[in-house]
Structure 1
Amino acid sequence: MGSLDGKVALVTGAARGQGLAHAAALAEQGATVVLVDICEQIASVPYGLATEEDLALAEKTVSAVGGKVLAKKIDARSSEQLADLVTEVVAQFGSIDVVVVNHGIWTRGALWDLTDSDWQDMMDVSLTGVWRVLKAAAPQLISQRSGSVVLTASVNGLEGQPGSSHYTAAKHGVLGLMKAAALEFAPFSVRVNAICPGFVDTAMTNWQGCYDMTGGKPGSTREEHEKSAHHWHAIGGLIQPSEISGAVVFLASDSASRITGVALPVDGGHLVLPTFNPAPSFI
């Protein structure tokens, strides 16, 4: 018996990283899982985004856990694609009980150096795309008068990040959207919450621009990146995607039946550090 037996969960950004970890964790708890990812590159993003091959592998990975799985190549910037997806999922599985809106991008640049497309791509994907998923799922959630929505925000939804003003603005926006959505969905017994991860080890943080940020100089290495991560968290270094998934499963489950409108940090104590931790811990 799992905490999500009989539930249908839709997860965006699910081809790899946090999305894949969350999808597998939901499946382990008995949910039927719908995996969604763009599987295309966005020009302003300097690291490789997920591919169709990644999505196919994710489908096999989640299927191996057990239960039904559906994988779809969907662009969250398209309301039409999302509406068609919801129609297909409900027709095939009968409901959508959990919506995990996990997709997003992260790029770097001083606010005065960002181009219009840098800014717009960030907003279209990481904020407006979240609203589009909520809007597409809303008719089904409202009609069945039940459901749990979990949005992936960030600790940068609660604090600023120099060099990523567009990302910081988008993630602050996700939390504002979550709070408003929690109120609007509440009369229909639909809960809306957000997680705020710390420094998670995914493709989004595993590229040279991120190494330079964490290492404090151009040409910083992956080894320096890993070492620096111990300054970002009170507990441990880089967070693994699966370490975020427990919070997602909890918020999706009936164990959180009275929790809505909450921004839950899963950050290894990052937000309680007194500005900067001068003593890295290698435990």
Structure 2
Amino acid sequence: MTSLTGKVAVITGGGRGQGRSHAVALARQGASVAVCDIDGQYPTIPYDMTRDRDLAETAELVKEAGGECLTFTADVRDPRQVDDFVAATVERFGRVDILSANAGVWAFSTVAETSDELWRDTLDTNLSGVFHAMRAVAPHMIAQQSGRIVATSSMCGRRGTPNIGAYTASKWGVIGLVKAASVELGQYGVTVNAICPSYVDTPMINFDGYHRMFRPDLDEPTHETSEQVVRTQHTLPVGSFPARYVTDALLYLVSDGAAMISGTALDVTAGMSAQWSA
């Protein structure tokens, strides 16, 4: 694995889950890390969202891994807050080499029943939030003539997925944005890619409503009963898997070994992608 000593990584949605996993792993490879996340709850989202205490825990884990960590409370729906986060990172560390545009939300709803509020919250976070972060770091990477941008898409950005239409639309949009940005930024030595995970074991899928989505036939569905369904969708013999497997993909995409990879979407799906991609 390429050493990231002297590099600076910016992560949105770094309070827990995949973002936290990325932050700790990047620190272990020598990078200084800046993480942001929200401190609050959208009324449209059915699971508990991130709080400042989560950011504080991420910072402690990054320090334990040997890295410096800047934490910043920011709502990625607001471009000014994202700009302020990146500016604080540059002020603290002097540069930005890596962006993990990772912040995301989801909620269960058919297209016909999706409220304007849920649509806006999902698209503004999952797609506009990625755009805000890319736009904020791009001038710094252009000036440096180098950089690595990795955006979090999803298996839902690869296929039509029922009952989460807003989320699916946002994740397809991320891949399109990645491809456009990779064309624009390639001349400056900046690579831009997406990661498309399937079922990752994080707080976003560990709540009662998620289990009921998979097993509406049960009065009291559990994590195990939803995992029974997930395992049928993976070709490898696993259910939801730890975030570290997504992090491994990110570490590859920001490494020297991936210097010639840009404009692509890398599936991390325990084989599920065999069902839709050539």
TM-score range, shorter chain: over 0.9
Deviations, residues 19-54 of structure 1 (Å, cap 9, x unaligned)? 000111111111101111112111100100011111
Letter in 2 for 1:52: D
Paired position in structure 1 for 2:234: 233
* Contact 2:2–2:256, Cα closer than 8 Å, also in 1: no
Q: CA deviation at 1:141?
A: 1.1
Matches within 5 A, 1:197-276: 197-217=197-217, 219-235=220-236, 236-273=238-275
- Give, in whole Å, the separation in 1 of the partners of 2:259 and 2:2: 16
Paired position in structure 2 for 1:147: 147
- Give, in whole Å, the separation in 1 of the partners of 2:120 and 2:81: 20
Question: What is the root-mean-square deviation of aligned Cα atoms in Å?
Answer: 1.3
* Contact 1:199–1:232, Cα closer than 8 Å, also in 2: no
Letter in 2 for 1:171: K
TM-score, structure 2 length as denominator? Answer: 0.95
- Give, in whole Å, the separation in 2 of the partners of 1:250 and 1:234: 23
1:46 matches 2:46: yes
Letter in 1 for 2:178: M
1:18 matches 2:18: yes
- Give, in whole Å, the separation in 1 of the partners of 2:156 and 2:249: 18
Paired position in structure 2 for 1:278: none
Structure 2 residue ranges without an equivalent (≥5): none
1:104 matches 2:104: yes
- Give, in whole Å, the separation in 2 of the partners of 1:44 and 1:76: 16
* Contact 1:233–1:273, Cα closer than 8 Å, also in 2: no
Q: CA deviation at 1:227?
A: 2.2
Q: CA deviation at 1:78?
A: 1.5
Matches within 5 A, 1:7-156: 7-156=7-156
Q: CA deviation at 1:2?
A: 5.3
Paired position in structure 2 for 1:277: none
Letter in 2 for 1:268: A
Q: CA deviation at 1:62?
A: 1.2
- Give, in whole Å, the separation in 1 of the partners of 2:104 and 2:67: 27
- Give, in whole Å, the separation in 1 of the partners of 2:2 and 2:142: 25
Q: CA deviation at 1:220?
A: 1.7
- Give, in whole Å, the separation in 2 of the partners of 1:244 and 1:43: 28
Structure 1 residue ranges without an equivalent (≥5): 275-283
SS in 1 for 2:204: coil
Q: Work out the percentage of aligned pairs sharing the same amino acid.
A: 39
SS in 2 for 1:246: helix
Paired position in structure 1 for 2:176: 176
- Give, in whole Å, the separation in 2 of the partners of 1:260 and 1:216: 41
TM-score, structure 1 length as denominator? Answer: 0.94
SS in 1 for 2:175: helix
Aligned length: 274
* Contact 1:101–1:130, Cα closer than 8 Å, also in 2: yes
Deviations, residues 192-242 of structure 1 (Å, cap 9, x unaligned)? 000000111111111122101222435421220122221121111111111
Letter in 2 for 1:142: I
SS in 1 for 2:62: helix
* Contact 1:9–1:97, Cα closer than 8 Å, also in 2: yes
Deviates more, 1:3-12 or 1:216-225: 216-225
- Give, in whole Å, the separation in 2 of the partners of 1:203 and 1:225: 14
Q: CA deviation at 1:85?
A: 1.8
SS in 1 for 2:84: helix
SS in 1 for 2:205: coil
